[in-house]
Chain A
Amino acid sequence: MGTIRFREVVKTYPGKQPVIALDRVNLDIGEGEFVALLGPSGCGKSTLLNLIAGFEEMTSGALSFNGGTVDSPGPERAVVFQEAALLPWLTVEQNIAFGPSVQKRPRAEYEPKIRELLRLVGLERFAHSLPSQLSGGMRQRVGIARALVMDPKALLMDEPFGALDAQTRMSMQQLLLDVWQSLGTTVLFVTHDIDEAILLADRICIMSARPGRITREITVDLPRPRSVDQLTDPAFIRHKAAIMAEMREAQKEHA
């Protein structure tokens, strides 16, 4: 349930000057693990995530989810997009209900669940608002609720908090920690924020660009449950220093 495996995965975008976005990437993510992908802009983080999501096809290699191949998007691999990507003509509630309703699940089953999720993300009073009436953070919470309502085996999150201000970002990180700690789904989380990666992840995969590769994997052994208060803990700072050193190292090797 929820394992992800990349074996020598290559992704090339064709064109006049083909772009090798991923070059022989290997990655194993275990059941219930929280993995952060950390790297500079353009190194192929989104490409990697889009491959597991089923949005794009790899050029060569092997990619599996729960031991099976990935050939199209599906609700067991829920995606949270950077700009939420909510449907603007649907209310908050309708956006969350979209998945269950296209899956023809009985309304009586998912309606109570939506109510519970709205409460969990603190948006009960906004059930009937349109996305355009919400702040960025609130929209992103709808995006998370929309993913969770499908009981996904993995959550794929592509810089979900990248567009938010620092304060909102922290409250979203806390929300995600709380949700994940109670659900235990596998999470692949793309970010270029080191603090965010350390705070959230069990393991951080550092990527480098040109060619896009995973150059380092770092295990974060901060105790759980975690909270945003830990951002200033000495243990946290030590981790950060170590990771920055590794990143500098990785950069030198690939320069």
Chain B
Amino acid sequence: MNDAPARALDAAPVPAAPKVKSRGLFPAGRTGAAMRAALLPVLVIVAWQLAGSGGSLAGGVLPTPDRVWDAWVVWAFGPQGMGLNPYSGTWLSNVLFSSMRVAQGFVLAMAIGIPAGVMIGWSRAVSGTVDPTIQLLRPIPITAWLPFSIAVFGIQDMGAIFLIALGGFYPVVVNATHGARDVDRNWIRAAEMMGASRFDVLRRVVLPAALPAIFTGLRIGLGIAWTAVIVSEMVAVKSGLGYVLWDAYYVGRMDVVIADMLSIGAMGLLSDRLIVTVEHWALRWRRLQSASR
């Protein structure tokens, strides 16, 4: 055999990292990249701090970064139950409240969205029956569902979970549908010719082939899930980061408001990283593919 295995061996190893020339201010490599990434946030914080005087700017409305930091430290580590500062020491529990709601709602969104999307993409009959309804409901923003959700579920967790599940569901289902619809026809034919049943094709070809698109949907859906939890906590639930956000605004604690906003951002980032990690693992075969192309 002439096209010897040796040829593929040559192609297989991951190419050596290209030499990155340091450009301008920063050294090459990871440290330089981190420094470059940190530059803008640091500049903004410094400018914000300098623009303020006496702990605030914009006529006393906005606290300076040091005040925000102080507020967060009390919020996170202060003693609980002090009458003067109702937020003291409640950061972690509020973060957990919101995160749990996101987790529950999003698991629901995945549990319904992934199978539904794959089925819609795979079967014309399912698509014809279910897809029009989804497309009809999808343009209704989740915020418009708030009164409905409060009326049905009252002021409690279920209302928030419903909104999160609904908001996360749409991108998950739509992307899963696209993924399942765009499966290479020859993969399906090959599986059928090897004796795969329709269910085998669904589980062993369509589902894995749709995974990259499904993960795209999960990442978008998770972002919407965080939007949904904050909105519903602001309006319909009496705990969590969204509740604190609105409550602190109401009593004029802008330092807590900003600390809360940044906390939401951090949690969103963290949960996104979590999905990316799972994605990395589940789509190992794809990394190898792009490395060899």
Contact = CB atoms under 8 A, between A and B. Distances in A.
Interface of A: 53-55, 72-75, 77-79, 81, 83, 85-89, 98-99, 102-103, 122-123, 125-126, 129-130, 132-135, 137-138, 146, 150, 164, 167-168, 170-171, 175
Given A130-B285, A167-B2, A171-B3, A135 B8 contact: yes
A122 B1 contact: yes
A102 B200 contact: yes
Contacts of A133: 8, 11-12, 288, 292
Nearest to B292: A132
B196 to A, nearest CB: 4
15 contacts: A55-B193, A73-B192, A78-B193, A83-B186, A87-B204, A103-B194, A103-B195, A130-B289, A132-B292, A134-B8, A135-B11, A138-B3, A146-B194, A167-B3, A171-B2
B191 A168 contact: no
Given A85-B184, A88-B289, A132-B293, A72 B2 contact: no
Given A75-B194, A81-B190, A171-B3, A87 B208 contact: yes
A48 B191 CA distance: 20
B2 A123 contact: no
Contact of B186 (A85, A98, A122, A138): A85
B206 to A, nearest CB: 11
B29 to A, nearest CB: 28
Given A102-B200, A133-B8, A135-B8, A85 B189 contact: yes
B187 interface: yes
A108 B289 CA distance: 31
A132 B293 CA distance: 8
Contacts of B204: 87, 98, 102
B2, B200, B286: residue with the most chain A Cβ atoms closer than 10 Å:
B2
Contact of A132 (B1, B7, B193, B289): B289
Contact of A150 (B12, B194, B209, B292): B194
Interface of B: 1-3, 5, 7-8, 11-12, 184, 186-187, 189-197, 200, 204-205, 208-209, 285-286, 288-289, 292-293
Contacts of A81: 186, 189-190
B285 A77 contact: no
A86 B187 CA distance: 7
B190 A79 contact: yes
Contacts of B1: 122, 171, 175
Given A74-B195, A126-B8, A130-B285, 4 more contacts: A81-B189, A87-B191, A135-B7, A171-B1
Contacts of B194: 75, 78, 98-99, 102-103, 146, 150
List of 3 A-B pairs having minimum Cβ-Cβ separation, nearest first: A99-B194, A132-B289, A85-B186
B7 A98 contact: no
Contacts of B205: 87
Contacts of A73: 189, 192-193
Contacts of B289: 88, 130, 132
Given A74-B193, A132-B288, A170-B2, A85 B187 contact: yes
Nearest to A86: B190
Nearest to A125: B5
Given A133-B8, A135-B7, A135-B11, A89 B193 contact: no
